[in-house]
């Protein structure tokens, strides 16, 4: 199948993982990373937090590109009532992974779509269960440097995936973008559509 669009689409993200996932749609798009401060004031649920940051990213780029559709996303990890975002350093990464060891956590991604009269957002949550980890395993993984740019201090698509016993929900959401749900949403908004020429 071929997907087409008549709109300029911008992904407001510097994440190579999100770029790769969005690229699966096969439509032209550009990347304009947003440099907004990834903090929001007040008390927020993990879903509210992720969606607020995603909207900040998308809105900042949409203001510079009024004729485009801008997509922003933000991913966080919830363990109980605690948010585990990107670790500040290796020590914090080790702490996060020790907390996640043997436990179930939720990976939550907020997605915001801004522009052309649309302002829409949603969140997707995936449940992830870790194996019991040894300090040796944690130290070896953190030493690779892979933890520092990832919520929860691990990447399921990299060596961090070796710690995952099972997941319930969308795998791509854990990577950083729930592309299936985003695809359906963009179809419903008529931002993308199937190429009817191929069906003739």
- State mean pLDDT over 163-177: 98
Residue 38: the pLDDT is: 67
At the topology level of CATH, where does 3-199 sit?
Maf protein (3.90.950)
CA distance 32 to 37: 15
Q: What is the pLDDT of residues 12-28, one digit of tens each?
A: 998 999 999 999 999 99
Predicted confidence (pLDDT) at residue 199 exceeds the cutoff of 60:
no
Q: What is the pLDDT of residues 108-129, one digit of tens each?
A: 999 999 998 889 999 999 999 9
Residue 55: the pLDDT is: 95
CA distance 163 to 129: 9
DSSP codes joined into one string, 24-81? TT----EE----------S---HHHHHHHHHHHHHHHHHHH-TTEEEEEEEEEEEETT
- Annotated active-site residue in 74, 135, 146, 149: 74
DSSP letter assigned to residue 191: S
74 is catalytic: yes
Please state the domain extents for the chain.
3-199
**Reported pTM:** 0.92
Residue 43: the pLDDT is: 73
Q: What is the pLDDT of residues 70-110, one digit of tens each?
A: 999 999 999 998 999 899 999 999 999 999 999 999 999 99
- State mean pLDDT over 131-145: 98
Could you tell me the pLDDT band of residue 36, with boundaries at 50, 70 and 90?
A: confident
């Amino acid at each position: 199948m071929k997907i087409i669009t008549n709109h300029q689409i911008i992904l407001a993200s510097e994440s190579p993982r999100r770029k790769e996932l969005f690229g699966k749609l096969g439509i032209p798009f550009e990347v304009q990373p947003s440099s907004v401060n990834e903090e929001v004031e007040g008390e927020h649920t993990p879903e509210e937090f992720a969606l607020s940051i995603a909207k900040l990213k998308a809105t900042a780029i949409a203001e510079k590109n009024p004729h485009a559709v801008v997509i922003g996303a933000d991913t966080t990890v919830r363990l109980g009532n605690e948010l585990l975002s990107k670790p500040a350093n290796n020590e914090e990464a080790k702490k996060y992974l020790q907390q996640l060891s043997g436990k179930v956590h939720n990976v939550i991604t907020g997605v915001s779509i801004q522009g052309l009269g649309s302002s829409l957002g949603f969140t997707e949550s995936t449940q992830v269960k870790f194996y019991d980890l040894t300090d040796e395993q944690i130290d070896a993984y953190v030493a690779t440097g892979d933890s520092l740019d990832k919520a929860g201090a691990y990447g399921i698509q990299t060596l961090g995936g070796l710690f995952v016993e099972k997941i319930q929900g969308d795998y791509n959401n854990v990577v950083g973008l729930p592309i299936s749900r985003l695809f359906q949403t963009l179809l419903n908004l008529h931002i993308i559509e199937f190429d009817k020429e191929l069906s003739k």
